Chain A
Amino acid sequence: TAGITQAPTSQILAAGRSMTLRCTQDMRHNAMYWYRQDLGLGLRLIHYSNTAGTTGKGEVPDGYSVSRANTDDFPLTLASAVPSQTSVYFCASSEGRLTDTQYFGPGTRLTVL
């Protein structure tokens, strides 16, 4: 199975423009997550969804929004990009219990100029 797919692989975006990062999983996992990875800071949670129809804020949610219309898809939207949002973005999913492993997608490298 494909697991988790993310699109695009990379993107250069002008500041002030909007963009949606796509994430799709085929494991029928209940929970999905968006992280950003920055050098020296590790991974930080942006938003999460414990089940379709619900979302929650993570550690660094400002400037980002998410939706969870169905089980498989969890898009992340930047309404008006700023250079500080230059990062590598990872989507993850899990069955949803505290003991469950999170599985990660390949990532999207975003550069905001």
Chain B
Amino acid sequence: QSALTQPASVSGSPGQSITISCTGTSSDVGSYNLVSWYQHHPGKAPKLMIYEGSQRPSAVSNRFSGSKSGNTASLTISGLQAEDEADYYCCSYAGRSTYVFGTGTTVTVI
């Protein structure tokens, strides 16, 4: 149950697009289309942004999109806004009813 690997930080200017990667193994990300992404502002409840790899809850802006290739999932934020500054975590089903989160990425809008 090793954590999925994410870059520690990603930054971008307002209006730009950024992509956060989430690298796992053939036992988790690579085996299931069950990656979810969460936005977390410190001290608040995490918020689901993407589920099942690319599905977006209705309340989430369409500026957020998800994809997967092999053992790596990705979250893209387009039209970056100041309110997007937060920590982002991926999470994958890992078989046998277990889950694994990523190491987390801090997004900074510069």
A binds B: no
